Amino acid sequence: MVDYINTLIQGCAGAANNDTEQTCKEAITTLLLHHDKTKNANGTVCMMGKYHNILYVAVKLCYLWQLQDAELVCKLLTGIYSCEQTFERIFIGAIFGTKAPHFIAGWKSDFDDQEENVRGVVYFLDKANKGKLMLPVFRNSLPENIRFLDIPIDSCAKASPVKLCIQLGLPDKLLIFLRFGAQITDLSDELIFYFGNTVFGRLSEFNHCYPYNIVACLQILLRVVPTINISKAPISCDKTESILIREIVAETYNDLLEDGILPRS
């Protein structure tokens, strides 16, 4: 289907003085209208399957032709989210590799390899930011609008893409997500995501032989957050929060301090 519509775009663009942007916009708009038509014919309930997969044909076409219309790209992403409530089909292949989606979620990646998937994610992150895309997520039964990048991935315990990168030790992808403004938050928790417990715990498992990739993730995170949060318990003592956190780190993760993985100040 992608190859077929690609050929149509090339042919129509050639007849329209090589205006591939406008031709691609018309193709994407037509695919969106077809999806909406089949959805409305079923009582506004998406039947998924081939009628929904047409949106991923549009996803691939947007990427291949580098469509610059951020508003239309955001409309496409909103259409996907209204049916799936997640963007795992876009993100999982970039994080785990394009073979992983088959085992994790049961579908084939829409990209040829992981590198192309990463470039595709960067493309959609850029357009979502330019279009100021905000999408509703329910927390404690209340809707809250968050950005495209921070939408939880259902098949990965509703972890956000940036949290998965931290847990797996993927500094290159962590940098990409932070560059586009990812929040270090966990939407499954009503409190802020305390990344310290995750990264410090992983490093403590290796008995002084620290993997470079996890150390790199920690170094990146230390540059982008103003403070390290360790305990979620409320502070009920005379000590200030910063002093208490330093004492907890020194007591629980002393090896990381001695080995120079964590700064002492």
Q: Greater confidence, 134 or 226?
A: 134
Q: Greater confidence, 255 or 214?
A: 214
Q: What is the pLDDT of residue 238?
A: 47
Type of residue at 16:
A
At 73-108, the pLDDT tens digits run: 999 999 999 999 999 999 999 999 988 877 776 778
Q: What is the pLDDT of residue 195?
A: 64
Per-domain residue ranges of the chain: 1-158, 189-259
Least confident of 2-6, 101-105, 259-263: 101-105
Looking at the DSSP bridge assignments, the partners of residue 142 are 139
CA distance 114 to 94: 5
Do 23 and 16 contact (CB within 8 A), yes or no?
A: yes
What is the arithmetic mean of pLDDT over 252-260?
A: 79
What is the arithmetic mean of pLDDT over 251-255?
A: 76
At 37-48, the pLDDT tens digits run: 999 999 999 988
Give 236's pLDDT tier (boundaries 50, 70, 90).
very low
CA distance 132 to 3: 31
Q: What is the pLDDT of residue 243?
A: 62
pLDDT over 50 at 191, yes or no = no
Q: Greater confidence, 179 or 245?
A: 179
Mean model confidence pLDDT for the chain: 84
Looking at the DSSP bridge assignments, the partners of residue 185 are 192
CA distance 122 to 107: 21
Give 126's pLDDT tier (boundaries 50, 70, 90).
very high
How far from each other are the two terminal CA atoms of the chain, in whole angstroms? 57
The kind and range of the H/E element at 142 are strand 142-147
